[in-house]
Amino acid sequence: MNTKPKILVVDDESRNLRLMEALLLPLGYDILLARDGVEALEKIQETPVDLILLDIMMPKMDGFEVARRLKADDDTKIIPIVMVTALQDVADRIKALESGADDFLTKPVDKIEVYARVASLLKVKAYNDHMIDYQKKLESEVAERTKELRKAFEKIKVSSLETIYRLTRASEYKDEDTGAHIQRMSNYSAVIAQAMGLNERTVESILYAAPMHDVGKIGIPDKILLKPGKLDPDEWVIMKQHTLMGGRILEGSHAGFIRLGETVAVTHHEKWDGTGYPKGLKGKNIPLVGRIVAIADVFDALTSKRPYKEPFSLEKSYEIIKEGRGTHFDPDVVDAFFASEEKLLAIKEKFRDEHESLLIRL
């Protein structure tokens, strides 16, 4: 690789070009020559240079304009420009500085002065090049590390979600519900949350929290949980405890979606009119996630087969949900439910009881 610094000399007088070339070539630089501003810009396009010695008064395009253009372009703005001029006028020097010139040489040029200016500006350019390379390297290293971190985070997230799914499935094994029920109702909950305008992060948290709604059932005796007939009042008292038991299983977590899972477990049987359990909370005193999961849970129970019932038709299920608007369910959540009908049916179709997948997707 040729690492010789490249210097572009721009002057409309051949004599000046030759003079500068004769001065600089013996120092081991690569010299490029241009006779006017337009040619200078073309040369720089073709070959990136490290320094420009630029005459001011030239035909076609003067040195001020050349400097302005080079300094306005991200690719060329770091190239140092030395204005070489016979002008002693202060106003012109100011104009040159404003155009982006980094230094001056006065014609007729002094050999030592040329050497000094060129050497020091090339040093600055080399340092800047090094810094730019270093920054690029750092940026790509940071991007690479960020990618790795994101991958590792995704892996942890997927495995912790899978753990939750497997644990909730373990608790559901005692019940008539299936793994597909968990997936349907958590996806229903997320879709309804989305229709209610909740942000993406909250929707995702609800997707992960909803499966934990019935983990407390693990604490309900089999003779009650699996009783084929209707529960008597005493048995109901125990059955209702699955909400609080779920809350106790999940309480005190540092993970946001498990804390949300705790809320879901405790509040998914509360009703809008205050007749639900375990606390008989009313209206907006019921956390929104509980109001959302309530409708998702009921809709799935209605449209699914149970040992004691065939699935209700969609029409009948919709009717029951409409009837519950303002009594069992939050009216706004019911509206969001019906606004999401298409997506809900797609989820119902995707997670049918016979095929189960541990991966859930919106």
6 vs 268, beta carbon nearer Fe ion: 268
Yes or no: say if 45 and 72 are a contact pair by the CB < 8 Å rule.
no
Q: CB 269 → Fe ion: shortest distance, Å?
A: 6
Residues in the chain: 362
Least distance CB 300 / Fe ion (angstroms): 11
Q: Are strands 81-85 and 6-10 parallel, antiparallel or unpaired?
A: unpaired
Distance (Å, whole) CA 217 – CA 269: 13
Q: Report the distance separating Cα 211 and Cα 209, nearest Å.
A: 6
Determine, following the binding rule CB under 5 A, whether residue 270 of this chain makes contact with Fe ion: no
For Fe ion, the closer of residues 300 and 330 by Cβ is 300
Report the SS3 class of residue 314.
helix
Instruction: Report which of 262, 258, 284 is spatially closest to residue 273, judged by C-alpha positions.
Output: 284
Instruction: Quote the least distance from Cβ 323 to Fe ion, whole Å.
Output: 20
Q: Torsions phi, psi of 131, nearest 5?
A: -65, -40
Considering only 30-38, 66-74, 207-215, 313-321, which stretch makes contact with Fe ion by CB under 5 A?
207-215
Closest CA to 187 of 203, 198, 171: 203
Q: Mask of contacts with Fe ion, 209-228, x by CB under 5 A?
A: -----x--------------
Nearest one of 205, 224, 269, 221 to 243, comparing CA atoms: 269
Would you tell me how many other CB atoms lie within 10 Å of the CB of residue 289? 23
Q: Which is nearer to Fe ion, 6 or 217 (CB)?
A: 217
Helices 331-339, 314-323: axis angle to 10 degrees equals 150
Which residue has the closest beta carbon to Fe ion? 214
Least Cβ distance, residue 216 to Fe ion (angstroms)? 8
Considering the complex, what minimum distance in angstroms separates the CB of residue 153 from Fe ion? 31
State which residue, 29 or 277, has the beta carbon closest to Fe ion. Answer: 277
Q: Which is nearer to Fe ion, 36 or 214 (CB)?
A: 214
Size of the site for Fe ion (CB under 5 A): 1
Contact stretch for Fe ion (CB under 5 A) within 82-90, 178-186, 206-214, 305-313: 206-214
3-state secondary structure of 361: coil
Please state the closest distance from residue 213 (CB atom) to Fe ion, in A: 6
Q: How far is the CB of 145 from Fe ion (least distance, A)?
A: 44
How many CB atoms are closer than 10 A to CB 74? Answer: 6
Position 62 contacts Fe ion (CB under 5 A): no
Q: Which residues bind Fe ion (CB under 5 A)?
A: 214
